[in-house]
Amino acid sequence: MDLNYTAEELSFRDEVRAFVRDQLPKDISRKVLEHRRLHKDDMVRWQDILAKRGWLAGHWPKEFGGCGWTPIQIHIFDEETAAQGAPRLVPFGLSMVAPVIMAFGSPWQKEHYLSRIRENKDWWCQGYSEPGSGSDLASLKMRAVRQGDRYVANGQKTWTTLAQFADMIFCLVRTSTEARKQEGISFLLIDMRSPGVTVRPIIMLDGEHQVNEVFFEDVEVPVENLVGEEGKGWTYAKYLLGHERTGIAGVGASKQELVTLKEIARREQRNGRPLAEDPLFAARIAEVEVELMALEMTVMRVLSARGKAPGPEASILKVRGSEIQQTLAELMMEAVGPYALPFDLAAMELDYQGERIGPEDAGPLAAHYFNYRKTTIYGGSNEIQRNIIAQMVLGL
């Protein structure tokens, strides 16, 4: 792999860098770089700016209204936006259900839903996990029974990220109990405003409302919202999970977090000298930096496999990416020491005027640390990913 950018790629990098510098709202950038609370409006504002530029779905093929970016361009965009404090794009529509619709959806679904995702008109969420059906997703119990030109759905989904904002949810549902459990699953697109849909919050360890329980009681779904064939949902789910796990790697965001960690280490003092000069702590920073470099190269190799969706190798990206994210959060907490101890949810707001006992950026770090404990669980726990790697990559 040639690690040097071409002249065209350097020009694209400069274009992205200049655009983000000029168009990214400064209040949003501060929130991201200081680990403060992002509101729905913050994410929508930034995605609207990208949609207007034609870059919200820049990674999509041109035939579906994207820019047809190369893997290198996708990587550059991710890195440059993260470096300047842009929020990570909400992936459920753009990078998860959209590829499934492109590959398996009907002409109407492609025309209707892809345009709305590309223009930032619909907020999507993911209906996969259920109580008792997380790592063993094929055991899901939510039912959808066909009645004429509609399915009637009943059941529950859980850990549904940002469902409180969502217009649409893509759901795995059981449409048959006759075949083996993987073969009786279908993939439905459900309007969250439908009668019978109830969203209840789950408050996380960091005190935030980010995930939810979603209940479905006699929810009617038009048959035209079935993706592909009935009973083939497990195939589509695995296709989607490859895209999700690749995205979880989060190389661009982790590179910016590494910059922040180094700045904190240079600022904080231990025994009269900067923490960055402590041999043991410096070695730990160097170790995570090397791991991040290796992950970046592996992500590039996966993205460069043109013409096919990410396969089981995406599990490697998910495992290493999530572990690196947790390590960076841990090291920042350790670096600021007792300054991160006060856990005040109000300090997560950008306009917080309360008492501070240390640097301004230290207050939100405890919540940031708690939030990132989830990364090794969502998208398929890392234990399950290691089984996939052993069986599907190593052939053990």
So which residues are the catalytic ones? 244
Place of tokens 């230290």: 362
Cα–Cα distance for residue pair 56/61, rounded to 1 Å: 12
Place of tokens 């479905």: 216
Provide the b/e sequence for 129-168 (b: ≥16 CB within 10 Å): bbeebbeebeebebbbeeeeebbbbbbbbbbbbbbbbbeb
Kindly give, in sequence order, each residue whose CB lies less than 8 Å from that of residue 329, ignoring residues fewer than 6 positions away: 257, 365, 368, 369, 372
* Tally of CB atoms within 10 A around 181: 17
Spatial contact of 151 and 226, defined as CB atoms under 8 Å apart = yes
Cα–Cα distance for residue pair 193/190, rounded to 1 Å: 9
Nearest to 288, CA basis, from 320, 313, 334, 252: 320
Cα–Cα distance for residue pair 83/256, rounded to 1 Å: 5
